[in-house]
Structure 1
Amino acid sequence: MSTADRLGPYHLLSRLGAGGFGEVHLALDPEGRTVAVKVLHPHVAADGAALARLAREVETMRRVRGPHLAEVLDAELTGPRPFLVTRYVQGRSLGAVLAEGGPLRGEELTRLAGGLAEALAAIHAAGVVHRDLKPANVILADGEPHVIDFGIACALDSPSVTAPGAVLGTPGYLAPEVLSGGEASPAADVFAWGATVAYAASGRQPYGTGPPPAVAYRVVHHDPDLDEAPAWLAPLLRESLARDPAARPTAAELCVRLGVAAPPPVPAERRRRPAAPEPPTQEWRPQSRETAGQEVDARARHRDKVRRRWVVGSGVVSGLVAAAAHQYVPEMSLLVLSAYGVGVLVDAGAGVMAGARRRVVFDLVSGAGAVGLYAVLIALFSPFTLLLALVTALLVLVTVAFAG
């Protein structure tokens, strides 16, 4: 085994990915168990003050335990390649799951909301603030969420690591008080919980997409978009995304309202001692890891756009087919309109189950529009003209399909 494959007592197996602070490797510990080893980037390792702060945090982070946490197991922060070791969770990030399968529903969403609340409660009970909760930092394994990287962002927030005037975090998940230059507190984690769960429930970023400064502006000045969130969850999300930190529930209160067990508070002597306050931040700058979240949201929006185009396009074709067949085969007109109506009602029913009010309204308006188009066409045009129009439309559709 080459020395390049080893880091301290850990045997590195493969690279899992990279983030703002370092590269993550799958590794084996001395007992042969799989662990995740995060090797800090050189520019992070060069900041002695940040490493000293992280070393203090690690002692507390190692005491944080919970079924929804990737616990910190070990750390070596004094050598040429500083690293942290956490429990390895074999699964996929929440962002990747949403990109492939769309929003979570039913039991999946309930387990996510409760599990993340329980994880935050355990973190906060130890006096730690996550500061960077988002879909990329949530791993789903067998349907259960696991939070990674807790406490690291807070400990490594340093001008040498992030560049002067920067706020460490992700637009759309950073609380308004943090974007305005305030300190990240447990209430900021609750805000991130609300944004993460809202995204998982709807497949849409609650503060939209676009340039990071624009998203940050909407977080500070606008209300979140929760129209697609289920009715049972929307009130709790709205409270968690309140602009006033004092108006948000605590993580322990989230657990109570979601019916999960909050961990007992950690004795005061075991909590971390608060670090000296950092200079207030005056300007927010985007991080380089934001493209993944924007790509996930773009895919969700693309799926919704395709569905809307299908509803409208099939409505137009159905109305035209029914009108063209009205005089020659009246039964076919009724059959075509009925089939389209059933399809629209099924899609609207799915919208009702998901609590997507806009989707239901769109489907019902499209169904009525198809019937209205049919009535207008048979009133204004002759059957022969409609038949020619239908043939032309079908030829155009076939041409477009083969051209794509």
Structure 2
Amino acid sequence: MKMWHAMMRLASRTWHRWREIRNNWSDYPLQEGTVWGGQYEVRRFLGMGSYGQAYVCRDQRSGATVLLKRNKPSKRMLGIQLLQRERDVMQALSHEQIPRLVAYRSSGSEEAIAMDYIEGHNLEYIIYEQGDSFTVQEALQVLRGLLQPLKHLHDSGYVHRDVRIPNVLMRDGKPYLIDYGLACRIGEQLPGPLKEALGETDAPADSAAALKTRMRRAHPASDWFGLGHLFLFLMYAGYTPPKDGMERSWEEELELPDAVKLFLRKLLNEDQGWPSTAECERELDDLLKRGDCD
């Protein structure tokens, strides 16, 4: 009996290892020069997420440069379903700071979204690779710029749910909000498999996972919360920790004007927000006009 159990455990480990190798092989990125779907020539691999891959491609029919987001083959129908959800969101949007959906294509068992490619660096690159820092005024202007596409998104009935520094591209001083893979309708209740795939899990209020849970709510407050944390990232880009090494709250560590602290608290506290994103935008406009952020 012990021999039988040992053989079963070995068979199970062998099966899981074989499946991992197969998935890694099927998800191997397309190489430069590959033409996907008979139309999109791969110029550069951008990266891979849990359910998709992104490439810079040349559309051989139009000659335009596009971003191609392809489902990961190993994720099968779940990856395709998530890609189709993203397509549906992008079809409902039309804003200069949101990538435009160009096409949705199928090729065998794979599907992909083609969208406008926005040339620029994201805030994560700007902070960690270029080493740039931001004044309070500059950081608030980034938020002000992001409220434009967010207002359009919310007015269209959707929530982004992933407003983070990797998903904000800067071009000519203007922020662009990208990656709508986690977006959903305001108030939408997702079925179990999709809920799990999109990171909607119940977490204790005092856990690190609780921050992620806050950003996954199907309410505009999730995006305000994301904006608040994005602002903190911009502020900490130029922060020098104290020599005593003690960890303190952002209110103690950052030297921010009182009016800015009040606005930031409202972004981070779902119980002290605004009736709409337009109201949030108006309050930030008033703050910038009064000069209370210097």
What TM-score comes out, normalization by structure 2 length?
0.66
The equivalent residue for 1:87 is 116
1:9 paired to 2:39: yes
Q: What is the Cα deviation at residue 122 of structure 1?
A: 1.2
Alignment check: 8 A CA contact 2:229 2:268 kept: yes
SS of the equivalent of 2:218 reads: coil
Equivalent residue number for residue 167 of structure 1: 200
1:101 to 115, 124, 131: 131
Equivalent residue number for residue 178 of structure 2: 148
5 Å-filtered alignment, 1:96-245, equals 96-99=125-128, 100-105=130-135, 108-150=138-180, 152-154=181-183, 166-167=199-200, 174=212, 176=214, 178=216, 183-203=217-237, 225-226=250-251, 227-228=253-254, 230-231=256-257, 232-242=259-269, 245=270
CA distance in 1, matches of 2:191, 2:68: 22
Deviations 1:310-349 (CA, angstroms, capped at 9, x unpaired): xxxxxxxxxxxxxxxxxxxxxxxxxxxxxxxxxxxxxxxx
**Amino acid paired to 1:199:** F
Q: Give the counterpart of 1:61 among 67, 83, 90.
A: 90
Q: Is the 8 A contact 1:5 1:13 kept in 2?
A: no
Aligned pairs (5 A) from 1:366-377: none
Alpha-carbon distance in 1 for matches of 2:268, 2:173: 25
Letter in 1 for 2:93: V
Letter in 2 for 1:251: T
Aligned-residue offset at 1:25: 0.6
Q: Deviations over 1:261-306 (max 9, x none)?
A: xxxxxxxxxxxxxxxxxxxxxxxxxxxxxxxxxxxxxxxxxxxxxx
Give the conservation status (yes or no) of the 8 Å contact 1:198–1:229. no
- Greater share of strand residues, 1 or 2? 2
224 and 72 in structure 1: CA distance in 2 versus 1, 3 angstrom threshold: farther
d(CA) in 2 for partners of 1:65 and 1:116?
15
Aligned to 1:380: none
User: Which amino acid in the other structure matches residue 39 of structure 1?
Assistant: R
Distance 1:140 1:237, change over 3 A: same
Q: Quick one: structure 1 residues 44 and 253, their matched pair in 2 at CA, closer, same or farther if it must change by over 3 Å?
A: farther
Unpaired segments ≥5 residues, structure 1: 206-222, 261-353, 356-404
The offset of 1:177, in angstroms, is: 7.9
Percent identity of equivalent pairs: 21
What SS does the aligned partner of 2:102 have? strand
| CA gap 1:12/1:60 in 2 versus in 1, 3 angstroms | same
Letter in 2 for 1:71: R
Q: 1:38 aligns with which of 58, 66, 69?
A: 69
Q: Deviation of residue 82 (structure 1)? A: 1.5
Q: Please say if residues 173 and 195 of structure 1, whose CA atoms lie closer than 8 Å, have aligned partners that are also in contact.
A: no
Maintained 8 Å contact 2:66/2:117: yes
Q: CA 1:8–1:237 in 2, change beyond 3 Å: closer, same or farther?
A: farther
Counterpart of 1:299 in structure 2 is none
Gaps of 5+ in 2: 1-31, 185-189, 202-207, 240-247, 287-292
Matched with 1:247 is: 272
- Once the two structures are TM-superposed, the CA of residue 20 in structure 1 deviates from its matched residue by 2.7
CA contact (8 A) 2:120 2:169 kept: yes
Distance 1:71 1:172, change over 3 A: farther
In 2, distance between residues paired with 1:140 and 1:238?
25
Counterparts of 1:165 and 1:60, CA distance in 2: 15
Q: Which residue of 2 aligns with 1:72?
A: 101
Map Cα deviations across residues 349-392 of structure 1 (whole Å, 9 max, x no partner).
xxxxx98xxxxxxxxxxxxxxxxxxxxxxxxxxxxxxxxxxxxx
What is the letter of the counterpart of residue 160 of structure 2? H
TM superposition score normalised by structure 1: 0.50
Question: In the TM superposition, what is the alpha-carbon distance from 1:134 to its structure 2 partner?
Answer: 0.6
